Amino acid sequence: MKIYTKTGDKGTTALFGGTRVPKHHIRIESYGTVDELNSHIGLLRDQEIEENDKINLMKIQDRLFTIGSILATDPARATLKNGKDRLNIPKLTSRDIEFLEQEIDIMNEALPEMTHFILPGGHQSVSFCHIARCVCRRAERMATALNEIEAFDERVLKYLNRLSDYLFVLARKLSKYFRAEEVKWIPEKK
């Protein structure tokens, strides 16, 4: 597989299905941000964290590739006239979202009740998790903007929304694991 094709030298790129769009198109921004998120999760997975968390993060990375495929597909060319899937793009399922919800609930049970907003930080791995959460929120915002223009499977938005919650709770779990202090945000009184 050749890495450089020179087809994007004039500022366009091809979607699945062959449609060419500018590299700054909202669709490209959407799946590009999901790709960025996937890289941040890879960085988090490379930390000295529990093996089960690494396994879960790998599952999430797989699902993010699925989301990227969905977002990189021209909806007008994704299906045949008879309604059949033309490109055989992977799909998200409700089980993917339920997996995140179950993991959030499991982690939350072992954490102290949260009474304030928490300042990101306390340990490098915790900070990496918060960065991934912020990139996930941006990916969700970009995907939401794209969805207003060209609708796609609503499970993508649900998954990204739930994933940012998962990453927040995982950051709290990692704070506990590394015995890092959770610094509460208490607004200054003026």
Residue 21 confidence class, pLDDT cut points 50, 70, 90? confident
12-75+91-107+116-177 topology per CATH: Hypothetical Protein Ta1238; Chain: A; (1.20.1200)
Q: Which helix (H) or strand (E) holds 41?
A: helix 26-45
Give which of 34, 54, 37, 38 is closest to 46, Cα–Cα: 54
Rounded to a whole number of angstroms, the CA Rg of the chain reads 19
Statement: residue 128 has pLDDT above 90: yes
Collapsed DSSP state (helix, strand, coil) of residue 95 = helix
pLDDT of residue 79: 59
Tokens 């607004």, located at residue: 187
Statement: residue 172 has pLDDT above 70: yes
pLDDT of residue 60: 98
pTM to 2 decimals? 0.91
In angstroms, the CA 175 to CA 107 distance is 12
CA separation, residue 53 to residues 17, 50, 101, 127, 160 (Å): 35, 5, 14, 16, 18
pLDDT of residue 4: 81
Residue 50 burial (CB count, 10 A): 11
- For the chain, give every domain's residue range: 12-75+91-107+116-177
Average pLDDT over residues 18-33: 88
In angstroms, the CA 47 to CA 81 distance is 48
Residue 116 burial (CB count, 10 A): 11
What are the structure tokens assigned to 61, written together? 């990375």
Percent of the chain with pLDDT over 70: 93
Contact between residue 167 and residue 132 where contact means Cβ atoms under 8 Å apart: yes
Residue 28 confidence class, pLDDT cut points 50, 70, 90? very high
For the chain, counts of helices (H) and of strands (E): 6, 2
pLDDT of residue 10: 82
